[in-house]
Structure 1
Amino acid sequence: MKRNPQEEIEEMEEEDNYVNAPAWTVDEVAAPPDQRSLFFSRSSPLIAVCWLILLVIMGLRIYFGIVLESKITNLTTPNQQLETQRNNLTKQIQDLETNWNKLNVSRAQWSIDAYCPKDKERQCTACQKGWGLRDSNCYAYFDAAPPNQKTWEEARQNCRGRSSDLVVVQSQTDQDILNAVSSGSSGTAGYWFGLRAEGGRWKWIDGSDLTESYWTPQPPPPATDGQCVMSVQTDNWISVSCGEKKRWICKMKALSV
């Protein structure tokens, strides 16, 4: 059937409109027009929230990283100071040990020289040179002139500096030694030994209480703090002020040879 020219023109315009129409995406084709607009309207806030959460997380990581680094820096300085102090203390301990070893060597050498004098050949004795041996003890009395005499405490320090101490009377031999070196009946002629008043009682320097004594006359005088005892030949023992200057006598154990 033959079409008229007007119908052919309309058919060609429809074909041209179809060819030039814009292409649709898969989602646009799949989704109805009302659902496509609804998807975009709902997804935009969700994306914004996700970005916000991501920014918060990154900010927190940066903040806590800065805080942690600051704390590490604050701890590093005290640790370095403690390390320096530890090194200083270690060096001081090492110096003390070195000095202590030197002192021990010096004391050992002094003991050898004191008990075993170096003449042509070393010959060791039970007591140092200048000390007298009685039983198993060594005694030395220091008959110093008045300018060089000492208080009771000074006399004791002198004995201790010689690895000995003031005489503690533990036997008749000890008392005989005191009597032998003492002379006269006055305090100016006596010797300090290791007895003094302490806490209202007469006590020996080894901490023991006075039991047997050689006071003249008996009984012993009151134990008044600040009083010490000295030996004189006639009166045996007398009590005088510890601060007076007197002579003194030291005692130590003899060396077994």
Structure 2
Amino acid sequence: MLKTRYNQLSNNYSQLQSSYETLSVNHSQLQDEVKNLKDRTEVVVKSCPHGWTRSGCSCYFKSEEKKNWYESRADCQQRGADLVVINNKEEKEFVTELSKDGEFWIGLRYEWRQSGYKWEWVDGSPLTETFWAAGLTHYDGYYATCCNQQGKWTQGYHSDNKKWICEKKMI
């Protein structure tokens, strides 16, 4: 009976030792993952150029001069970016705050597609969430701006001169 108990305890000890070794390996792998994530985060933080503002995984440039929509987009592209594409409510709130001193061109345009006119982002993604000011009608050749005094999108004709916001994804 003592021998049986000894064998059980010995077996339990072996299982505990094996579990400890597995946990130790997992712990080491998790520490490596945490270090890699910290390194990547530091790269993102350091990657925003001078004069740009970081939010989430993107850097944003707010112009101080005014140009038409096409010139604004070309300026963003020369900076390795494009006009801002607003993907969610948090980004909309950030861009609204960034544009609190006027209306800025964003990367949204009303263009002809095979099935008719549609609002589309410059990255080709469809407009899924809207923050339009009330009472706007949509016409060919219109482009979106952000934001009016209530934080809603407005629109202008592509030849209007406005400031603009560029976005550069960091991941």
The alignment's TM-score, normalised by the length of structure 1, stands at: 0.45
Task: Output the CA distance in 2 between the equivalents of 1:211 and 1:253.
Answer: 20
Match of 1:211 among 128, 138, 141: 128
Greater Rg by CA? 1
1:128 alignment partner in structure 2: 49
1:162/1:133 CA distance change after superposition, 3 Å = same
C-alpha contact (below 8 Å) 2:84/2:167 kept by paired residues = yes
Task: Output the CA distance in 1 between the equivalents of 2:80 and 2:142.
Answer: 25
Structure 1 residue ranges (4+ consecutive) displaced by more than 4 angstroms after TM superposition: none
Task: Report which of the two has the higher share of strand.
Answer: 2
Partner AA of 1:138 in structure 2:
C
Task: Output the CA distance in 1 between the equivalents of 2:146 and 2:154.
Answer: 6
Question: Which runs of 5 or more residues in structure 1 are unaligned?
Answer: 1-115, 117-123
In the TM superposition, what whole-angstrom CA distance separates every residue of 1:30-68 from its partner, at most 9, and x where no partner exists? xxxxxxxxxxxxxxxxxxxxxxxxxxxxxxxxxxxxxxx
Q: Identity percentage over the alignment?
A: 31
Structure 1 residues 79-90: aligned runs within 5 Å: none
2:106 alignment partner in structure 1: 193
Question: Which runs of 5 or more residues in structure 2 are unaligned?
Answer: 1-42
Shift of 1:181: 2.0
Shift of 1:190: 0.5
Structure 1 residues 140-159: aligned runs within 5 Å: 140-144=61-65, 149-159=66-76
The alignment's TM-score, normalised by the length of structure 2, stands at: 0.66
Q: How many equivalent residue pairs?
A: 123
C-alpha contact (below 8 Å) 1:228/1:239 kept by paired residues = yes
Partner AA of 1:228 in structure 2:
Y
Task: Output the CA distance in 2 between the equivalents of 1:203 and 1:213.
Answer: 11
2:160 alignment partner in structure 1: 244
In the TM superposition, what whole-angstrom CA distance separates every residue of 1:143-179 from its partner, at most 9, and x where no partner exists? 22xxxx1000100000000000000011223212221
Task: Output the CA distance in 2 between the equivalents of 1:135 and 1:231.
Answer: 19
Higher relative CO (Cα under 8 Å, sequence separation at least 6) belongs to: 2
Task: Output the CA distance in 2 between the equivalents of 1:212 and 1:245.
Answer: 26
2:20 alignment partner in structure 1: none
1:172 alignment partner in structure 2: 89
Task: Output the CA distance in 1 between the equivalents of 2:99 and 2:168.
Answer: 19
1:230 alignment partner in structure 2: 145
Task: Report which of the two has the higher share of helix.
Answer: 1
Partner AA of 1:137 in structure 2:
S
